[in-house]
Amino acid sequence: MANAIKPELKIVPDSDALYHAGADEFVQCAQDAIKRSRRFCVALSGGNTPRGVHLVLAANAKASLPWNQIYIFFGDERHVPPGDPESNYRMANETLLSRVPIPDENVFRVPAELDAEVAARQYEDQLRTFFRLSPGAWPRFDLIFLGLGDDGHTASLFPHSAALNETTRLVVANWVDKLHSYRVTFTYPVLNRAAEIAFLVSGASKSQILRDVLKPTGDASYPAQRVRPLDGRLLWILDRPAAKLL
Ligand code: 6PG
Protein backbone atom coordinates (compact mmCIF):
# COMPACT_ATOMS: atom_id res chain seq x y z
CA MET A 1 0.00 0.00 0.00
CA ALA A 2 1.61 3.25 -1.08
CA ASN A 3 1.85 5.72 1.74
CA ALA A 4 -1.18 7.94 1.41
CA ILE A 5 0.52 11.29 1.73
CA LYS A 6 -1.73 14.28 1.23
CA PRO A 7 -0.09 16.74 -1.13
CA GLU A 8 -0.13 20.39 -0.18
CA LEU A 9 -1.18 22.77 -2.94
CA LYS A 10 0.08 26.35 -3.03
CA ILE A 11 -1.79 28.13 -5.82
CA VAL A 12 -0.56 31.58 -6.84
CA PRO A 13 -1.99 33.97 -9.45
CA ASP A 14 0.54 33.70 -12.28
CA SER A 15 3.97 32.51 -13.36
CA ASP A 16 5.79 35.44 -11.83
CA ALA A 17 4.17 34.70 -8.47
CA LEU A 18 5.14 31.04 -8.92
CA TYR A 19 8.77 32.00 -9.49
CA HIS A 20 8.74 34.01 -6.27
CA ALA A 21 7.00 31.22 -4.38
CA GLY A 22 9.60 28.72 -5.59
CA ALA A 23 12.44 31.02 -4.61
CA ASP A 24 10.84 31.62 -1.20
CA GLU A 25 10.57 27.85 -0.69
CA PHE A 26 14.25 27.44 -1.49
CA VAL A 27 15.19 30.17 0.99
CA GLN A 28 12.94 28.83 3.76
CA CYS A 29 14.17 25.26 3.33
CA ALA A 30 17.77 26.46 3.21
CA GLN A 31 17.42 28.49 6.41
CA ASP A 32 15.73 25.59 8.23
CA ALA A 33 18.27 23.02 7.04
CA ILE A 34 21.28 25.19 7.85
CA LYS A 35 19.91 25.91 11.32
CA ARG A 36 19.31 22.17 11.83
CA SER A 37 22.40 20.67 10.26
CA ARG A 38 24.62 23.54 9.12
CA ARG A 39 24.11 22.62 5.47
CA PHE A 40 21.38 22.60 2.79
CA CYS A 41 21.35 19.85 0.18
CA VAL A 42 19.02 20.59 -2.72
CA ALA A 43 18.41 18.99 -6.12
CA LEU A 44 17.31 21.28 -8.93
CA SER A 45 14.87 20.39 -11.65
CA GLY A 46 15.43 20.89 -15.35
CA GLY A 47 13.24 22.21 -18.13
CA ASN A 48 11.98 25.78 -18.41
CA THR A 49 9.90 26.51 -15.34
CA PRO A 50 12.84 26.60 -12.91
CA ARG A 51 14.52 29.38 -14.95
CA GLY A 52 12.27 32.02 -13.46
CA VAL A 53 12.67 30.62 -9.95
CA HIS A 54 16.46 30.68 -10.28
CA LEU A 55 16.52 34.27 -11.56
CA VAL A 56 14.36 35.49 -8.67
CA LEU A 57 16.51 33.54 -6.22
CA ALA A 58 19.74 34.98 -7.65
CA ALA A 59 18.34 38.49 -7.51
CA ASN A 60 16.84 38.27 -4.01
CA ALA A 61 19.00 35.84 -2.05
CA LYS A 62 22.47 36.45 -3.43
CA ALA A 63 23.56 38.28 -0.31
CA SER A 64 21.21 36.80 2.26
CA LEU A 65 21.99 33.08 2.03
CA PRO A 66 25.26 31.40 3.18
CA TRP A 67 26.01 29.89 -0.24
CA ASN A 68 29.10 28.17 1.12
CA GLN A 69 26.73 25.96 3.16
CA ILE A 70 24.50 25.16 0.21
CA TYR A 71 25.08 22.06 -1.94
CA ILE A 72 23.47 21.85 -5.34
CA PHE A 73 22.65 18.62 -7.17
CA PHE A 74 20.53 17.82 -10.23
CA GLY A 75 17.53 15.49 -10.11
CA ASP A 76 18.10 14.64 -13.76
CA GLU A 77 20.16 15.64 -16.75
CA ARG A 78 19.97 15.29 -20.48
CA HIS A 79 22.65 13.17 -22.16
CA VAL A 80 24.56 16.18 -23.48
CA PRO A 81 27.72 18.12 -22.57
CA PRO A 82 27.41 20.94 -20.01
CA GLY A 83 27.58 23.64 -22.68
CA ASP A 84 24.75 22.19 -24.73
CA PRO A 85 21.57 24.34 -24.92
CA GLU A 86 19.64 21.28 -23.71
CA SER A 87 21.79 20.90 -20.57
CA ASN A 88 19.99 21.37 -17.25
CA TYR A 89 23.34 22.28 -15.74
CA ARG A 90 23.83 25.00 -18.34
CA MET A 91 20.38 26.41 -17.59
CA ALA A 92 21.04 26.39 -13.83
CA ASN A 93 24.47 27.93 -14.30
CA GLU A 94 23.15 30.73 -16.50
CA THR A 95 20.16 31.56 -14.28
CA LEU A 96 21.53 30.92 -10.79
CA LEU A 97 24.95 29.39 -10.18
CA SER A 98 26.94 32.03 -12.06
CA ARG A 99 24.98 34.76 -10.23
CA VAL A 100 25.56 33.75 -6.60
CA PRO A 101 28.78 33.19 -4.61
CA ILE A 102 28.48 29.41 -4.39
CA PRO A 103 31.83 27.60 -4.34
CA ASP A 104 32.41 25.43 -7.41
CA GLU A 105 32.98 22.42 -5.16
CA ASN A 106 29.43 22.81 -3.81
CA VAL A 107 27.89 22.17 -7.22
CA PHE A 108 27.57 18.53 -8.28
CA ARG A 109 27.04 18.38 -12.02
CA VAL A 110 26.04 15.15 -13.73
CA PRO A 111 28.98 14.27 -16.05
CA ALA A 112 26.51 13.83 -18.91
CA GLU A 113 29.17 14.30 -21.56
CA LEU A 114 30.23 10.73 -20.78
CA ASP A 115 28.56 7.46 -21.73
CA ALA A 116 25.14 7.61 -20.02
CA GLU A 117 25.70 4.54 -17.84
CA VAL A 118 29.15 5.77 -16.82
CA ALA A 119 27.68 9.18 -15.97
CA ALA A 120 24.98 7.58 -13.84
CA ARG A 121 27.45 5.38 -11.98
CA GLN A 122 29.81 8.31 -11.36
CA TYR A 123 26.96 10.50 -10.12
CA GLU A 124 25.76 7.72 -7.88
CA ASP A 125 29.28 7.41 -6.44
CA GLN A 126 29.35 11.18 -5.84
CA LEU A 127 26.10 10.91 -3.87
CA ARG A 128 27.40 8.00 -1.84
CA THR A 129 30.60 9.87 -1.04
CA PHE A 130 28.95 13.19 -0.25
CA PHE A 131 26.26 11.69 1.98
CA ARG A 132 28.72 9.15 3.42
CA LEU A 133 26.32 6.34 2.61
CA SER A 134 26.96 2.80 3.80
CA PRO A 135 25.88 0.05 1.37
CA GLY A 136 22.09 -0.02 1.06
CA ALA A 137 21.66 3.44 2.57
CA TRP A 138 19.89 6.33 0.80
CA PRO A 139 20.62 10.06 0.66
CA ARG A 140 18.09 12.40 2.24
CA PHE A 141 17.87 15.69 0.37
CA ASP A 142 16.47 18.66 2.26
CA LEU A 143 14.62 19.74 -0.87
CA ILE A 144 14.13 18.34 -4.35
CA PHE A 145 12.48 20.52 -6.99
CA LEU A 146 10.53 18.65 -9.66
CA GLY A 147 8.59 19.61 -12.74
CA LEU A 148 5.69 17.88 -14.48
CA GLY A 149 5.78 16.93 -18.13
CA ASP A 150 2.57 16.85 -20.17
CA ASP A 151 2.86 13.05 -20.26
CA GLY A 152 3.08 12.92 -16.50
CA HIS A 153 6.84 12.41 -16.33
CA THR A 154 8.95 14.00 -13.64
CA ALA A 155 12.71 14.27 -13.41
CA SER A 156 13.55 11.88 -16.25
CA LEU A 157 11.15 9.20 -15.07
CA PHE A 158 9.12 8.90 -18.27
CA PRO A 159 6.10 6.65 -18.86
CA HIS A 160 7.02 3.07 -19.87
CA SER A 161 10.73 3.66 -19.21
CA ALA A 162 12.90 1.18 -17.35
CA ALA A 163 13.83 3.58 -14.54
CA LEU A 164 10.26 3.44 -13.23
CA ASN A 165 11.00 -0.01 -11.85
CA GLU A 166 14.39 0.74 -10.30
CA THR A 167 14.48 0.03 -6.58
CA THR A 168 18.17 -0.34 -5.71
CA ARG A 169 20.12 2.24 -7.71
CA LEU A 170 20.26 5.92 -6.70
CA VAL A 171 20.86 7.21 -10.21
CA VAL A 172 20.32 5.47 -13.55
CA ALA A 173 20.76 6.03 -17.24
CA ASN A 174 17.22 5.85 -18.59
CA TRP A 175 16.50 5.30 -22.32
CA VAL A 176 13.53 7.45 -23.33
CA ASP A 177 11.96 6.10 -26.51
CA LYS A 178 10.01 9.23 -27.40
CA LEU A 179 13.16 11.32 -27.15
CA HIS A 180 15.39 8.72 -28.81
CA SER A 181 17.95 9.50 -26.17
CA TYR A 182 19.23 8.65 -22.75
CA ARG A 183 18.59 10.72 -19.69
CA VAL A 184 20.35 10.44 -16.31
CA THR A 185 17.91 10.55 -13.42
CA PHE A 186 17.37 10.11 -9.71
CA THR A 187 15.26 7.08 -8.96
CA TYR A 188 12.09 6.90 -6.85
CA PRO A 189 13.91 5.63 -3.75
CA VAL A 190 15.99 8.83 -3.74
CA LEU A 191 13.07 11.13 -4.52
CA ASN A 192 10.84 9.53 -1.91
CA ARG A 193 13.39 9.91 0.88
CA ALA A 194 13.62 13.68 0.51
CA ALA A 195 12.57 15.82 3.45
CA GLU A 196 10.61 17.87 0.95
CA ILE A 197 9.58 17.55 -2.66
CA ALA A 198 8.38 20.75 -4.35
CA PHE A 199 6.73 20.43 -7.75
CA LEU A 200 6.72 23.62 -9.82
CA VAL A 201 3.92 23.63 -12.42
CA SER A 202 3.05 26.68 -14.47
CA GLY A 203 0.71 27.45 -17.36
CA ALA A 204 -2.63 26.40 -18.79
CA SER A 205 -0.95 23.75 -20.97
CA LYS A 206 -0.34 21.70 -17.81
CA SER A 207 -3.89 21.99 -16.45
CA GLN A 208 -5.15 18.66 -17.80
CA ILE A 209 -2.17 16.54 -16.83
CA LEU A 210 -2.12 18.24 -13.44
CA ARG A 211 -5.77 17.39 -12.87
CA ASP A 212 -5.14 13.77 -13.90
CA VAL A 213 -2.02 13.46 -11.74
CA LEU A 214 -3.65 14.96 -8.66
CA LYS A 215 -6.83 12.91 -9.05
CA PRO A 216 -7.05 10.74 -5.89
CA THR A 217 -7.37 7.46 -7.86
CA GLY A 218 -5.66 4.27 -6.73
CA ASP A 219 -3.58 3.54 -9.80
CA ALA A 220 -0.43 5.64 -10.06
CA SER A 221 -0.43 5.45 -13.83
CA TYR A 222 1.64 8.59 -14.26
CA PRO A 223 5.27 8.64 -13.10
CA ALA A 224 4.73 11.86 -11.13
CA GLN A 225 2.05 10.09 -9.07
CA ARG A 226 4.64 7.72 -7.65
CA VAL A 227 6.52 10.58 -6.00
CA ARG A 228 5.37 10.05 -2.42
CA PRO A 229 7.86 11.08 0.25
CA LEU A 230 8.06 8.31 2.87
CA ASP A 231 8.79 10.84 5.59
CA GLY A 232 8.62 14.28 4.06
CA ARG A 233 6.53 17.08 2.68
CA LEU A 234 4.96 16.96 -0.78
CA LEU A 235 4.27 20.48 -2.01
CA TRP A 236 2.79 21.49 -5.38
CA ILE A 237 3.49 25.11 -6.26
CA LEU A 238 1.01 25.96 -9.03
CA ASP A 239 -0.07 29.04 -10.84
CA ARG A 240 -3.77 29.60 -11.45
CA PRO A 241 -3.67 28.76 -15.17
CA ALA A 242 -2.12 25.38 -14.38
CA ALA A 243 -4.58 24.79 -11.53
CA LYS A 244 -7.72 25.89 -13.39
CA LEU A 245 -9.18 22.36 -13.62
CA LEU A 246 -8.60 21.41 -10.00
C1 6PG B 1 13.84 18.02 -17.64
C2 6PG B 1 13.06 18.05 -16.37
C3 6PG B 1 11.66 17.60 -16.63
C4 6PG B 1 10.82 18.84 -16.50
C5 6PG B 1 9.45 18.66 -17.06
C6 6PG B 1 8.67 19.98 -17.02
O7 6PG B 1 15.02 17.66 -17.62
O8 6PG B 1 13.24 18.45 -18.64
O9 6PG B 1 13.62 17.50 -15.33
O10 6PG B 1 11.16 16.63 -15.76
O11 6PG B 1 10.75 19.21 -15.13
O12 6PG B 1 9.57 18.23 -18.39
O13 6PG B 1 9.40 20.91 -17.77
P14 6PG B 1 8.90 22.45 -17.89
O15 6PG B 1 9.09 23.03 -16.54
O16 6PG B 1 9.79 23.03 -18.93
O17 6PG B 1 7.47 22.40 -18.30
Cα separation, 137 vs 18, whole angstroms:
34
129 lines ligand 1 (CB under 6 A): no
165 CB-contact burial (10 Å; exposed 0-12 / middle 13-18 / buried 19+): exposed
196-201 and 233-239 as β-strands: parallel, antiparallel, unpaired?
parallel
Q: Closest ligand 1 atom to the C-alpha of 156? A: 10
pLDDT for 220 equals 83
Percentages (nearest 5) of helix, strand, coil residues in the chain: 40, 20, 40
Cα separation, 204 vs 63, whole angstroms:
34
E strands, 83-180, in order: 143-146, 171-176
Q: Could you report the average pLDDT of every consecutive run of 10 residues in the chain (246 residues)?
A: 72 98 98 98 98 98 96 98 98 98 98 98 98 97 98 98 98 98 98 98 98 85 96 98 97
Q: Ligand 1 centroid vs 22 CA: distance in angstroms?
A: 15
pLDDT for 216 equals 78
Model pTM score? 0.97
Cα separation, 185 vs 133, whole angstroms:
19
CATH 3.40.50.300 for the 11-239 domain, yes or no: no
Determine the residue of 15, 77, 154 to mutate for testing ligand 1's pocket, defined as the one with the most ligand atoms within 8 A of the Cβ atom.
Answer: 154
Q: Ligand 1 centroid vs 156 CA: distance in angstroms?
A: 8
